[in-house]
Amino acid sequence: MRLWALLILMVTQPALADVQILDSGSQRVHLVELFTSEGCSSCPPADRWLREHLEDPALWRDVVPVAFHVDYWDYLGWRDPFARPEHSARQRSYAGQGLASGVYTPGFFVDGEEWRGFFRRQQLNPDPAPAPRLVSTIDQDQVHVSLSAQGLAQPTAHVAILGFGLQTQVPRGENRGRRLAHDFVVLGLETTPLKVSDGDYQGTLKLPISRRPTQRQAVAVWVSDGTQAPLQAVGGWLNP
């Protein structure tokens, strides 16, 4: 019996070790969205500002940064390799919902609200607040999402793969001749509606496939309800 128990332990331990659990706790974890483009000469400083969060002890614990590269500046002479039409559509949707004064880059949103403090050189100091607990369990290519909340109308889970250490030598456009560096870049995004199960809102979806695999990757998960504004977020580094 002891031999069988040892064999079972040896077989199951590696699988268990691959499972990652990201838990927001009961305090708000702030989703910071940057809409940016390699075709925008004003964007590199914003990209650098977002990259500074790599050294922030609050990373993942209090703040989850993500960078959506948009494609509406591609006509200026350089097609951003990280841009996607759906990223531009997300920013336009914010404006259409009255959550932004317009569509521009660099554009910041904190918890679904337009934040212009970057242009005034203000520190990002979102107020602490209680929020529903969000738990994301990553098992190989599956992501299970559970939100402890009640009375939601259209809860939707969003899972993004983030790339780091990305660099581009730009030969044309407004940033021609510059070597641009990026982190927290959204390289894949999946969404799914959540349904009530065991008293929580739950759902399972596939881990997004990265359009450009990088040596270092992270995952960002957030849940919205009706609008794009997140109710809660969670994030963390992916196991290699």
108-124 pLDDT, tens digit per residue, is 999 999 999 999 999 89
Amino acid at 103: V
- Nearest Cα neighbor of 111 from 92, 129, 88 is 129
Kindly write down the DSSP assignment for every residue of 20-31, as one continuous string: EEEE--SBPPEE
The rounded mean pLDDT for the chain is 92
Q: Which pLDDT score is estimated for 17?
A: 54
Q: Residue 37 and residue 15: Cα distance in Å, rounded?
A: 39
Q: What is the CATH number of domain 27-115+126-237?
A: 2.60.40.10
Cis peptide before 106 (omega within 30 of 0): yes
Judge whether residue 9 has pLDDT over 80. no
pLDDT at 15 over 90: no
Judge contact between 27 and 58, C-beta under 8 A: no
* Predicted confidence band of residue 60 (pLDDT cuts 50, 70, 90): very high
pLDDT over 90 at 195, yes or no: yes
pLDDT at residue 127, rounded to an integer: 84
Residue 13 predicted with pLDDT over 70: no
For range 216-220, the mean pLDDT: 96
Q: What is the mean pLDDT of residues 11-21?
A: 61
**pLDDT, tens only, 163-194:** 999 999 999 999 999 999 999 999 999 999 99
Enter the pTM of the model: 0.91
Domain boundaries, the chain: 27-115+126-237
Does position 5 have pLDDT exceeding 50, yes or no? no
